[in-house]
Amino acid sequence: MAKKLPEVDVVIVGMGWTGGILSKELSESGLKVVALERGAPRSAEEDFSVPHIRDELQFGIRHGLMQDLRRDTLTVRNNPSQTALPMRQLGSFLLGEGLGGAGVHWNGHTWRWTDMEFKIRSMYEERYGKKFIPDDMTIQDWGITYAELEPYYDKFEKIAGISGQAGNLNGQIVEGGNPFEAPRKSPYPLPPLERSLANDLFAGATKSMGLHPFPMPVANASRPYTNPDGAKLGQCQYCGFCERFGCEANAKGSPLITVIPFAMKQPTFELRTLSVVSKVHMDKQKKVATGVTYTNLQTGEEFFQPAKIVILAAYGLNNTHLMLTSGIGKPYDPVTQKGVIGKNYAYQTGVGATLFFNDKIFNPFMSTGGLTTLVDDYNGNWNFDRSGPNFVGGTTLNGGMYGGRPIDFHPVPPGTPKWGKAWKEAMAKWYSRSMTINSAGSVMANRYNYLDLDPTYKNALGMPLLRMTFDYKPNEHRLSEFTAQKINEIAKSLNPDFLSPAKAKTAPWSVVPYQTTHNTGGTIMGTNPTNSAVNKYCQSWDAHNLFIMGASLFSHNAAYNPTGPVGALAYMTVDVIKNRYIKNPGSLV
């Protein structure tokens, strides 16, 4: 039997960006907060120093900062007629684990999602008609607007130290920024990163084609920076060890160096690492959350932590898993389309080309997580006509390099032998003479893409594994074909000596090769309990004192990375809890 602990004001499950934000803000307001993190403790000083953090084999290849699949994993399949099997090794996406979560090893790409996403169904129906959206595409409006989130986007960008160039400042289009972004009231806190040769080539090519290149907005500090809370970030060193690694220079905006240290200073805050939550408990009337049960992985002891407010701030897939194992909310059924928990799981799609030049040296080892130039003309540009290519959603295109680490990066032209002397010679020649053009594309929700509990497999604690049913649908195939065509047009205009062209993804999704860790949906936001798990304030429809954070709230996946709205929603939610909910507990809508 679980040992019952004294009640606290707030218990938070997970300590990444959202858990760190809520822990800091709520404990500073005087609330007694306990945060439970399933992974191990970390600190930038002890864990990310040179030369240890530059161990590409440990972190880049063997995924040293990621989830141990021997203890917990999920099962995957492409459609409901198949039998799902466990994911035995990390591949398509990399599930983070440990203090700081994915905010430790992310690249830092930070976007502001706009009303094109938040009002996606109504805006598409208004422009293209209701028949343009396929019957099985379950996209829906979120019930929130960009205007409501704008001040919280601004706060998150300043806390994380985002480097970028504004493109729409108070309604005025700014040269060099993204002209398709929604109006922002203040510039980015830091200027963009220095440009590379690959950035310049891509920018020149796209501009000559009438497109609008701009630098990636990113949590890689282009200058030394002190954020509004007093956290100090170093200047990016362009070391090339960014994604999958902690930052040796403290230059990457991370919860480990921003919000978490400030929470740790509060006498009302307590952190418990290596603590795996297995259930959220409800009262007898199934109306109020009473606390969580968790297991201490070091001792094997089980505890019940009572709390007045329960906040799920784990990675999105884990939030959905915990809601399902706790029996809160009705699980989604793709046949009847009833239920909400597990609904609208979405992923991301992307294709890329590699260009080889005899006369250009790109120095790919001198890079960072956001050293890339983009165009948003086929995504954020609402004037771009989707009726011709016939897809809902869009894609960003980017040219540049994230890092040329020696084990992972060794491009060679088409026709090069797979091994032996000729391969080694080609690898040595083309390592510095190649660049890439890639894309990040949206994935729309579909009735047959969802999450539920696997009936067969269990994790080390005896909990049913989360089962993922996912495949790209015709909408995404058409988007992929369109994207590959556009990338190849840009690539050919640069006249490379050799080209590995972009190829559309029309085959079934595979969990084996890495693609992206942008998993969304499962506890989606909406306007009422029949179509969503939470309201616009991330508050569960089933329990007024249960709040859910992260990308599991998204009712589809955009071409943009998810961390911007994840951070903004966290700040909005903590604002509402402190200024409204504490004074008058109950439904906020």
Cβ contact 190:166 at 8 Å: no
Cβ contact 361:433 at 8 Å: yes
For strands 302-312 and 546-548, give the pairing: parallel
Euclidean distance between CA atoms 444 and 478, whole angstroms = 12
Closest by alpha carbon to 399, among 584, 534, 203? Answer: 203
SS3 359: coil
Written as six digits, the tokens of 564 are: 């911007």
63 catalytic residue (yes or no): no
Question: How many residues does this entry show for the chain?
Answer: 589
Written as six digits, the tokens of 315 are: 């990675």
Q: Phi/psi of residue 197, each to 5°?
A: -60, -45
Strand partners, 284: none
Encode 534-587 in three state secondary structure.
Answer: ECCCCEECCCCCEEECCHHHCCCECCCCCHHHHHHHHHHHHHHHHHHHCCCCCC
Integer angstrom CA distances of residue 100 from 186, 208, 260: 28, 42, 8
Written as six digits, the tokens of 258 are: 């921003």
Integer angstrom CA distances of residue 272 from 1, 11, 98, 260: 20, 11, 11, 13
Euclidean distance between CA atoms 386 and 482, whole angstroms = 10
Cβ contact 520:345 at 8 Å: yes
What DSSP element (H or E) covers 457? strand 450-458
Which of 109, 518, 544, 556 is catalytic? The answer is: 518
Catalytic residues: 518
